[in-house]
Structure 1
């Protein structure tokens, strides 16, 4: 029995040592990644000066044409992340402040994601390689149910989220493979799809009375003298439950409703995402209304 216990203990110790070593190696690789995505671009960057920072989900990523801001003399980057929630948008802004970014304006796409204050597993996972290297990330995740496992168990986060930060991603970083996430100053243009879904139902969607991460973004901007611009972006014509946007306006009067600025289906790739033509019309309106640029 003693021999068995000793053998089992040796296996456990060896496994832990391997986990610690792998954790260190993976983390080292991520700390030297610069061309794979928006998160590591901020984390591994030096302080920047930006006139406009754009935050939000795919409805920010696909709707704000960064180059149009640049053409008007506004240094801009679109940090919208497809699949992201306000949990991740808030964390991105916190990291920029931690990195001493000087930001004049934050434009936040704040509409559908006001209905939840959850993390987006697929996007939140991409912050986890840095959880021991950034106090901001550590604190942001500290309220999550699985924080202890993610923080204290070596290599656990890389196993749990293998599809996002596992071996394949590490291999691509080492090879120096880039993605299109940083192209077009962060803006991702969409095309009109013949089979795009032009129907949506948001009847059962309701904004939270006080979304924690929306409030964080607003307060961070106030504390750092950043002009905060929150907007609702367009959806296609065939949406059931469009009074959701009225509910948002009632709960958050400071959010500007641009839901109906672009309406015709020809300007959409899918019901919730404009194509490049629609995005340019929308961005032009934002530039005119908030920056006096026509």
Structure 2
């Protein structure tokens, strides 16, 4: 029995040692990543200067044409993340501040995601390789139920989110395989598809009266003298529950409502995401209203 316990203890200690080694190796690899995703690009940068930084979900990523800002002489990058929530948008801005970015304007897509304070696990996982090296990331995740496992168990986060930050991603970083995430200054253009979902129902959606992460973004901008521009972006014609945007305006009167600037289905790839042509119309309106000086 004693031998068995000693043997088991050795196996356990060996497993812990291997987990620690792998955790360290994976972390080091992610610190070399600069051409695959927006999160690691920010983490592995410092002291950049922007006239305009765009934050939000895919409705930011697909709706704000960065080059049109650049053509106006405004250094811009679209940091919108497909599938992301305000949880990730707030953390992204915190990381930029931690890395001494100088930002004049933040445009935040703030509409549908005001209805929740949840993290989008598939997106938030991209921050986890750096949780031990960034106080900002650690503090942001401390309120999550699984924080202790993610922070204290070596290699656990890489196993749990293997599809996002596991072996395959590590391999692609090592062979320097690029993605299109950083193309077009972060903007991702969409095309019109025959089978695009052109119906949506948001009848049961309600904005939270004080969304924690929206308030964080607003407060960060205020404390760092960044001009904060929060907007609601367009949706297609066949949406049930469009009074949601009126609810947002009532709860957050400072958010600018642009949901009806582009409405025709021909300008949408799906009901909540405009095509490149629709995005250009929308971006032109944003430039006219906020940067036409």
| TM-score bucket of the superposed structures, by smaller chain | over 0.9
Distance 2:89 2:100 in 1: 17
- After TM superposition, the score normalised by the length of structure 1 is 0.99
Whole-angstrom distance in 2 between the partners of 1:21 and 1:203: 50
> How many angstroms apart in 2 are the aligned matches of 1:247 and 1:2?
67
Q: Deviations over 1:147-201 (max 9, x none)?
A: 0000000000000000000000000000000100000000000000011000000
Q: 1:107: which partner in 2?
A: 107
| Matched residue, 1:133 | 133
- Write out aligned runs for 1:214-253 (5 A): 214-253=214-253
Structure 1 consecutive aligned stretches of length 4 or more whose deviation exceeds 3 Å = none
Return the offset for 1:216: 0.1
Partner residue of 1:74? 74
User: Which residue pairs with 2:206 in the alignment?
Assistant: 206
What does 1:141-290 align with in structure 2 at a 5 Å threshold?
141-290=141-290
SS in 1 for 2:128: helix
Q: RMSD of the alignment, in Å? A: 0.5
* Superposed CA offset, 1:47-78 (max 9, x none): 11100000000000000000000000000000
- Distance (Å, rounded) in 1 between the aligned partners of 2:244 and 2:216: 22
User: 1:46, CA displacement in angstroms?
Assistant: 1.9
* Equivalent residues in 2 for 1:54-69, closer than 5 Å: 54-69=54-69
Instruction: Quote the Cα distance in structure 2 between the aligned partners of 1:41 and 1:155.
Output: 22
| TM-score, L = length of structure 2 | 1.00
Cα offsets for 1:33-57 (capped at 9, x unmatched): 0001000110001211100000000
Structure 2 CA distance, aligned partners of 1:123 and 1:70? 27
Number of residue pairs the alignment of both structures matches: 293
Aligned counterparts of 1:31 and 1:49: Cα–Cα separation in 2: 21
Counterpart of 1:260 in 2: which secondary structure?
coil
Q: Flag structure 1 segments of 5+ consecutive residues without an equivalent.
A: none
Residue 229 of structure 1 aligns to a residue whose secondary structure is strand
